[in-house]
Structures are given as C-alpha cells and as structure tokens.
Homo-oligomer: A and B are copies of this chain.
Amino acid sequence: MTSLYLIRHGVAIEPDPQVPDEGRSLTAEGRRKTQRVAQRLQKLGLVISLIHTSPLARAQETAAIFSETFNCGMAEEALLAPGGDLGQWLTWFGPWQLEHGGKQKAIALIGHEPDLTAWAEQLLWGEVRSVLVLKKVGIIGVTVPDREPFMGQGLLFLLAPPKMFGDV
C-alpha cells in the first residue's frame, strides 16, 4: 500500500506568443506559494520518496521546490505531460512498488489539469467523473493496493487547495 500524491504545478506566467507553452515559468508569487505549501506539508510529516514530474517548465520548477524541501529524487516523466496515459504509467509503477513500495513510501506526481484529477478518479473508481477540484499547488492523496489491479481500487485520504496550508 503505497501513497500517491498528485500535485498541480504552481501559478505560471500568462500564455505569451513569445514563449512556447512548455517553457512558461512559475511567477515569483507562484514560486513563493509553492515553497510555502511544500514546507508546511513537510513539517506536517508528509513523506515523499520520489517525484515524477511533467517535462513542462512550470511543473519541473514546482517539482524542484518539492524535491529540495523533501530531500528526495525527481525524474522527468513524459506521461505527466498533458494528455498522458495513467495505464502506461502503472506498467512502470507496479514493478517499482513491488521492489520499493510500502506503507511509509509515497510518490509525488507533478503535472497538469484536467489530467491529474482524471488519473486520481481512474484510481478511485475506474473512470473519469470530473468531480474532484484541484487548484494550482493543490494536492490529492490516494493509497493504492500492493498489487494490480490498481484502477478503481484506490482510497482517497487527502484533497486540499493551497490555502489550507497557508500561514495564519
């Protein structure tokens, strides 16, 4: 039973004809908010063993902040680019979990909407229902069973917008 955290990238600069979409960086405020969320989650005791990130700049920059805060490795994962397929990712995850998974292990997936909620919904109830709301730097936590099948077998234990991790 490994946990998966699906985390949406932070606020990026507006689309700009001069900048390819995949090159849009986080804004200064987006970076600050991402750091704040990552730091609070780390202090709350969240564990992240490994980060997979979409290759787009705004996701990579978000992942780098989480990787530094949680002191864990990160790897680019093409399937986390917009439109990527969960089923394909699970063919990597199944064997990884058998070797490295467990109760205190978690993989964070940094990517985009509507893909992340679609992945979470497929894990929870086997199909996309579009009923989960994931804000930028919001987080979804799902536990998945030790072995296949994974689709429709997950449990949802966390879904929160960044303001739930604000300074008050």
Contacts and interface: CB of A to CB of B under 8 A. Distances in A.
Interface of A: 40, 43-45, 124-125, 129, 131-133, 154-161, 163-166, 168
Nearest to A41: B164
Nearest to A166: B44
A156 B45 CA distance: 24
Contacts of A156: 131-133, 159
Contacts of A155: 131-133
Contacts of A157: 133, 159, 161
Nearest to A44: B168
Given A40-B168, A157-B161, A160-B164, 15 more contacts: A43-B168, A44-B163, A44-B164, A44-B168, A45-B163, A124-B131, A125-B125, A132-B155, A133-B156, A133-B157, A157-B159, A158-B159, A158-B160, A159-B160, A160-B160
